[in-house]
Each structure stands twice: as C-alpha cells, then as structure tokens.
Amino acid sequence: MRLRLRSPRQLARSLLTAARRDPDQVADYLEANTEEWGALAVTAPGDAADVLEQLEEEDAAGLLADLDPTEAAEVLEEIAPELAAELIEDLPIDNLAAALSEMPGEAAADLIGELDEGIQEHLFAAMDDESEAEVRELLAYPTDSAGGLMTTEIAFLPLGLTTGEAIERIRQLHEEYEDLSYVYIVDDDNVLKGVLSFRDLVFVRPGSPLADVMVPDPISVNVMADRELVAELCQRYHLFGIPVTDDVGRLVGMVATDAVIEAIQDEATEDFAAAVGAGVEETVYSKVVESFRMRAPWLVLNLFLALVVAWVIERQTGVISREPVLAALMPVIALLGGNGGNQSLAVMIRSLASDDVPAAQVPAILGRQAGVGLLNGLLLAVVSGFVTYLLLVSEVFVSNAPEFDVATIVALAALTNLMIAAVAGAGIPLVLRKLGQDPALASSIFLTLITDVVGFGGFLVVAAILL
C-alpha cells in the first residue's frame, strides 16, 4: 500500500476509504509509518479517530499506544465513549491514565464511566490527583443531568474587578481555557452573580466596574437539572453555554454548546428506543447480558399483550370459519391502524420533547388528531373497500358472502381503526406524562395492543353483524 499525499488530511481521507475496504491493510501501513500516523493524530485528531473506528480493536489499541499521552487524548476525545471504551481495554493502565489526565474532565469522565468498576479504580490509582478528583466529582452526577454534561474548565472573575483588570486577567487565562465565549462573575463565596460575553467585555470602557456592565442574575441550572431543561433553556435564550450551580448558587461548571447538541441528540435517540421498548442506555457496543436485561421485560410484556389480541380473535372464530377470506383481510386493517397510530405517536413525542404541549391545549390537540384520523380513515375506507370489491369480483379472493358486504366490512373497519389509532397515538404519551413517566416509554407497544385489538376484534365484530 503506497500513499503519496501532500497533507495529513489527504492521508486521512485516503486511509478512511481504504479502511472501509481492507482495515488490516491500513493497520499494517500505519504500523509501518508511525511518523505519518503521529502527524495525522496531531494535525487532524478527528480524522485519525475516524480511521481508528474502522480498524479491529487490537490494531486500534496498538496505534493508540504508539501516540504520546497528549496525542492519544485528543484522538480519544473524538471517539464515541462506548466505542473508545472497547478500544482502550488492551492499553497498559499507565499509558491510558496518562492520556486521560490530558483530556478535559468531562470527556475523561464520559470514557471512564463506560469501563468496569475494577478498571476504573486501577485508572484512578494511576492518574494524577487533580484529574482523579475532577473525574470522580463529575461521575457522581447522573449522565443525563447538567452536572454530568458540564465542564469545570470555565473562566470566572471576582466581582470587585474593573473591566480593564478583567481583560488582563483573561489574557492570563487564555491558554488555560479553550472556551472564553462567556466570563462568569462570582462573589467571594463563589456564588454566581453575573455573566459577560467576551465580546461585550472588549468594547466597554476599561475603568468600568464589572458589577455595572455584567448581566446580573444570569440564566443558570442546578447540577441535578435534567438535560432536557438544559437544552430547552439554551434554545429559548440562544445561549452558547449555560452556567451550572450547586444548591446554594455556587458556580461549579458550564454546559457548553457541543454538550447541549449532544444532549439533544441523545434525548431524541433515547425517546425512539424507549418507544419500542429497547434499553434507553443501550448501544451497539453494549454487552450481550446488559442488552438482554434491558429488552427482555418489554418483550415479556409484549407477549402478554399479544395474548390479549389472540383472545379477542378466538372469541370470533365462528365468523372466520363461515367466511375464511376474513382471515386474509384482518391483518390489513391492523396494519393500517398501526401505521396511522405511529404517525400520531411520533408527532406527539416530538412535540413533548420540545415542550410544545401545554396542558390547556391537550383537548384541541387530541381533536386535531381525531380529525386527521377521520380524514385518513375516510380515504382508506374508500380505497380499501373498492380494492377489496375488485379482488372479490375478479375472484382473486374467494368469498361465500356477497362481495359488497365484505367490502363494506373492510371499509368500516379501516375507518374505525384509523380514527381510534390517531387518538390513541397522541393520547398514550400524554397519559404516560400525566402518570409521571417518560412519554415515550414503550408507547409503541401499548399502541400496537390498541390497534390490533380494534383492528382484529372490531373487524370481526362488524363482520359478525353484517354477515
């Protein structure tokens, strides 16, 4: 394998393309060209991380071990914590501890949090005291809280300074902190008193007291605040970051923009997983036993709910025996209801996630969803009834009953199920919220129960009445 390229970024693009075809060849090339690998890690750690993600874990761990701690830290920071935890298991503890000590505290905490407790303790023993204390503090907070998202590397200044003194102090802080979008103002007890953007600080008169030019009582969150609240406040007030305080108002950190974006993405994926009964913390890198524990309870519940549907069908076996074509048409009605209900479910969960469903608007919202269900139901009733009639008269389907009667049964069942499904899809998340549960929690499973019971049971009841 030969690569004649002018820059590490060109090397990264070529390596990434090659790694997707033959990861072993790329691993061999990088092991034989350690200078190029080191230059790539320094110049473009994100691209280096992309290449590592395509390689076998053992090869990726070997390449990480070839980097010095600072370089390894920058590359690890660009890899998803779940995957990074898989890659570093074979690294020597001392090498890994040195790399983690070079990472920002929140990134190191995310990575260490994915490791087994035994490995965590070995790492803490090998890390420097300051890094260990910072990571332990961050790990004490839930991962979906403001404390779990925040960085403790923030710029803050005492209340008594002038703006000129503040600018000089920030010059000294520039190398220590990467993010200087906001400067937070605290009193002698470290209680948050105000905030000032770096841009505003530059343009005010040098002799002005910070207390006169800062924004007092800034928007902030408690360390235990849920990430949904953090994301909501940042979006509502167009913030690049939000300060985090403890129970008495002391400044302890800041949730930066990238962490907010990541929180929004995580919340969306968790809602999707919760809706279908998968583990909200599960990823493709989760251990088999952990995934089993998270999924199995919902599958067992699904089994019992399916037995309810089976019982409903069993009650109407007489009409099926008289008209066997009904057995072929039943799933059509259930499928239409399931799809229509899931559309309403997705819209409602999305709106709840962005806090767009005030209690006063619930009746109107449900009314609109019922209207959508009615219109869809009327359309699908006409189409499904007409298509069923054509299939029967052309003898594609064989029926002992009059073709028009069977087509009417299909049309009425489709109309009823789509209306009920639309209301149920919107209502289930609202009921779960009212009960204090996650609105997405297995909502798809409960919706399937309703649409199947109405789809199968309602269809057979209508058939028993008309035939």
User: Residue 32 class from Cβ within 10 Å (0-12 exposed, 13-18 middle, 19+ buried)?
Assistant: exposed
Residue 430 corresponds to which amino acid? L
Phi and psi of 291, rounded to 5°?
-65, -40
pLDDT score of 54: 87
Q: Domains in the chain, please, with CATH?
A: 8-140 (1.25.60.10), 156-273 (3.10.580.10), 288-466 (1.10.357.20)
Q: 163: helix, coil or strand?
A: helix
Strands 221-222 and 241-245: parallel
Q: Are 84 and 113 a contacting pair, CB within 8 Å?
A: no
Which residue, chain included where needed, has tokens 């060849």? 25
Q: Are 422 and 376 a contacting pair, CB within 8 Å?
A: yes
Phi and psi of 145, rounded to 5°?
-105, 170
- What is the Cα–Cα distance from 365 to 159, expressed in whole angstroms? 49
pLDDT score of 418: 94
pLDDT score of 275: 62
Q: Are 295 and 279 a contacting pair, CB within 8 Å?
A: yes
pLDDT score of 22: 86
Residue 151 corresponds to which amino acid? T
pLDDT score of 273: 64
CA separation, residue 143 to residues 114, 221, 259, 281 (Å): 11, 15, 12, 10
Mean pLDDT by 10 residues, the chain (467 residues): 60 81 86 85 88 86 88 88 81 86 88 86 88 90 89 87 84 66 89 87 82 90 90 85 93 86 71 63 72 82 85 82 87 90 87 76 90 94 94 87 90 93 92 82 83 86 83
What DSSP character marks residue 136? Answer: H
Q: 289: helix, coil or strand?
A: helix
- What is the Cα–Cα distance from 220 to 38, expressed in whole angstroms? 41
What DSSP character marks residue 455? Answer: I
Neighbouring residues of 386: CB distance < 8 A, sequence distance ≥ 6: 407
Q: Are 76 and 64 a contacting pair, CB within 8 Å?
A: yes
pLDDT score of 327: 87
Quickly count: other Cβ atoms within 10 Å of residue 134's Cβ: 20
